[in-house]
Structure 1
Amino acid sequence: MKKLRRLLFPFSFIYALVIYLRNKLFDAGILTSAAGSLPTLVVGNVHVGGTGKTPHTRFFLSQLSDLNPAVLSRGYGRSSKGFIEVDLSMPVEKTGDEIRLYKRSHPRAKAVVCEDRLTGVQRIKESGHEGIVILDDAMQHRKLMPDALVALVRADSLHELDLYLPAGDLRDGKYRLKKADAVIITGWNPAMDDVVKESELRALLRLDASTPLFKSQIAYGTLSPLQQDSVQQRDDIKRIILVTGIAHPAGLHTQISKEHTIVEHFHYRDHASFDASDLESWRTALANHNADAIITTEKDLVRMEGLSNVETLPIWYQPMTVEIEGAETLTTLLRKKLNRP
């Protein structure tokens, strides 16, 4: 697959040139950027997929809760258009999965989808909201000039951030990381602290000493059932079917394998929609493997909940949060950026 992608290098050159010129036009003020009508924190990345924007956005929703955060997403994969304030009675097809997960974990926070981030922030203010707005995946939406920008880079991609789409994974220039108020290397293994020096990391990312650099890792919570009144006990779950629709499930697979035997793994593309035929495939796999339960992610769960008869399957989900080294320093920095005069 990698060799095939390398054949697309000429198209990557064209893509890189377009992105470079676009960024230059914004930097020069020929294409205009404007601050949001409320203080904004953007969580983004320069390469595609799997950097952990969702758990990091949830982290900031919790850590900055006293600033009354609303959360704004474009609503990736949704069937609707325009500005929608989300509530959990809406089908996931109308809202997208990520925003529903934010609302599910932070029910008091205003949750909104809108393709145009400037318009979205303005509409949030017009609704009477007083506080900040956290935007996931808006680093490339340069019409909005954020008060604070946090860029995420996946640890296992540090040596691969050289080629642009479609030959590589870069969706934006690595040079844009210098514009971030903080850069977080996600999926970091603390054992690497004694092997890789910070100066080497900064060299790989082309960061100078002035850009705050942090590291984070996934923290796994307690396995929980889809049905809260489930009679099935956690300790009775031995053999499981794993179902994932996330970009990089390897870490989860390793974590689940520590306590359970994975007899089959249904791995779908990121944000994949599930339907009745998928449910039947999982039901068949449970029977064929004499498995005890299905384990999935919380993000995948929100795309399953509305399916007919899903409650007849023994589904458990694995909560995932993040732990950020130097979290207090990071949140203090962001508070200063978000504190408009």
Structure 2
Amino acid sequence: MFSLTQFWYAPRWYHWPIIVLLLPLTLLFAILAKLRRLAFRLGLKVSSRAEVPVIIVGNISVGGNGKTPMVVFLAQFLSEQGYQPGVLTRGYGGKSSQYPKAVTEHSIVTQVGDEPMLMRQHISCPLVVDPVRTRGAQFLVKECKCDVIICDDGLQHYALKRDIEIVVIDGKRRLGNGLLLPAGPLREGAWRLQQADFVVINGKTQAPSEYAMSLEAGDLINVKDPRLSRKVASLVGPVTALAGIGHPQRFFDLLASYPLEIHKTISFVDHHQFSADDLPNDVLIMTEKDAVKCRDFAHQDCWYLPVKAQLSAAFSSEILAKLRTIKASN
């Protein structure tokens, strides 16, 4: 199946003619993005500041970098440090008639999106979906009494001013061919990394200024009945791996590190809306993000593998130091 990711990451020589053909569209994208940033800088577009510090967790390349585990890590860590964080997300893939929309354990995934439902399973702080980020931020401050906002994605959404920017990058794919969309995977150029407060690499770092993040997998959890769990190594015989995320191969590589007999792998586009027909009647392992959409029709042998972000003490200390500095200056 044709996919632009073939041309974005480690392109072969015969991919470059197509990349060149896409360059006019990339130039147009670059011009429009620059004009948009300039409009905010000149005050032609309004950029609002929340009453509390705002931490943006985003990326400059599309999909599958590990942003969601980072948001969960921050929400848990700041709660442990005595803060009252709130998480704000756009809720991609969900559609509601009313915003801001608080995400609870009883929320419907088609209304709030798969990533918010995944985060809700791991964090206890307020979690709100709103495509208008300034409105969602105000709701978290006024109604939920949050003293710091963690904005899931939104690096390029300049209508909401930010105090701390964290850019998450996939350690294997990095910035691909280094080109902007659609000839490459970038929303903004590599120069944007110089403006961020933290560059977090999901994998191995390549520079002293980068912070490493690793994803630690837990036990398998049954999709249909989350009360059931088992060790990955307890699976005997062929299994099927399934992923509908931004970078499915990262999940398949993770499973390959276990003593499993992977019978086949099945990939879907990111935020795919699953149905029962998508799930083969095999012993099936999927991502937690996919599992939140499959619980109602999953069979008994569907399992998901949760992952948790691990970061250094130095990163955590730097985050706290920046928040203290921001608070002292206000």
TM-score normalized by the length of structure 1: 0.83
1:100-122 deviation line (CA, Å, top 9, x unaligned): 1111111x211110001111111
In structure 2, the CA distance between the partners of 1:233 and 1:41, relative to structure 1 (3 Å rule), is closer
| Alignment-derived partner of residue 48 in structure 1 | 62
Is 2:180 the counterpart of 1:187? Answer: no
Is 2:79 the counterpart of 1:35? Answer: no
In structure 2, the CA distance between the partners of 1:197 and 1:104, relative to structure 1 (3 Å rule), is closer
In structure 2, the CA distance between the partners of 1:166 and 1:337, relative to structure 1 (3 Å rule), is farther
Match of 1:80, SS? coil
2: CA distance between counterparts of 1:50 and 1:59?
17
| Alignment-derived partner of residue 243 in structure 1 | 242
CA-CA distance at 1:314 after TM superposition: 1.1
Letter in structure 2 aligned against 1:129: K
CA contact (8 A) 1:223 1:234 kept: yes
In structure 2, the CA distance between the partners of 1:159 and 1:231, relative to structure 1 (3 Å rule), is closer
Match of 2:62, SS? coil
| Alignment-derived partner of residue 204 in structure 1 | none
Q: 1:221 aligns with which of 204, 215, 218?
A: 218
Aligned residues: 308
1:157-213 deviation line (CA, Å, top 9, x unaligned): 33535211111111123322222121112222xxxx6xx554xxxxxxxxxxxxx53
Match of 1:15, SS? helix
Higher helix share: 1
CA-CA distance at 1:233 after TM superposition: 7.1
In structure 2, the CA distance between the partners of 1:152 and 1:255, relative to structure 1 (3 Å rule), is closer
CA-CA distance at 1:232 after TM superposition: 7.2
Letter in structure 2 aligned against 1:248: H
| Alignment-derived partner of residue 169 in structure 2 | 153
Match of 1:240, SS? strand
1:76-119 deviation line (CA, Å, top 9, x unaligned): 0112253111112121000001111111111x211110001111
CA contact (8 A) 1:49 1:247 kept: yes
Is 2:328 the counterpart of 1:330? Answer: no
2: CA distance between counterparts of 1:103 and 1:251?
23
Q: 1:104 aligns with which of 117, 121, 134?
A: 121
Is 2:302 the counterpart of 1:315? Answer: yes
| Alignment-derived partner of residue 181 in structure 2 | 165
CA-CA distance at 1:303 after TM superposition: 1.3
| Alignment-derived partner of residue 73 in structure 1 | 89
CA contact (8 A) 2:233 2:260 kept: no
Identity over aligned residues, as a percent? Answer: 28
Letter in structure 1 aligned against 2:60: V
In structure 2, the CA distance between the partners of 1:105 and 1:231, relative to structure 1 (3 Å rule), is closer
In structure 2, the CA distance between the partners of 1:231 and 1:127, relative to structure 1 (3 Å rule), is closer
| Alignment-derived partner of residue 208 in structure 1 | none
| Alignment-derived partner of residue 12 in structure 2 | none
| Alignment-derived partner of residue 3 in structure 2 | none
| Alignment-derived partner of residue 149 in structure 2 | 133
1: CA distance between counterparts of 2:47 and 2:177?
26
| Alignment-derived partner of residue 91 in structure 1 | 108
Match of 1:164, SS? coil
CA contact (8 A) 1:35 1:147 kept: no
1: CA distance between counterparts of 2:173 and 2:102?
35
| Alignment-derived partner of residue 289 in structure 1 | none
CA contact (8 A) 2:285 2:304 kept: yes
2: CA distance between counterparts of 1:232 and 1:159?
36
| Alignment-derived partner of residue 201 in structure 1 | none
Letter in structure 1 aligned against 2:287: T
TM-score normalized by the length of structure 2: 0.86
Q: What 5-or-longer segments of structure 2 have no aligned partner?
A: 1-5, 8-14
Letter in structure 1 aligned against 2:214: Q
1: CA distance between counterparts of 2:20 and 2:153?
26
Match of 1:43, SS? strand
CA-CA distance at 1:261 after TM superposition: 0.9
1: CA distance between counterparts of 2:325 and 2:91?
26
| Alignment-derived partner of residue 285 in structure 2 | 295
CA-CA distance at 1:9 after TM superposition: 1.0
2: CA distance between counterparts of 1:98 and 1:115?
14
| Alignment-derived partner of residue 207 in structure 1 | none
Match of 2:293, SS? helix
2: CA distance between counterparts of 1:214 and 1:235?
31
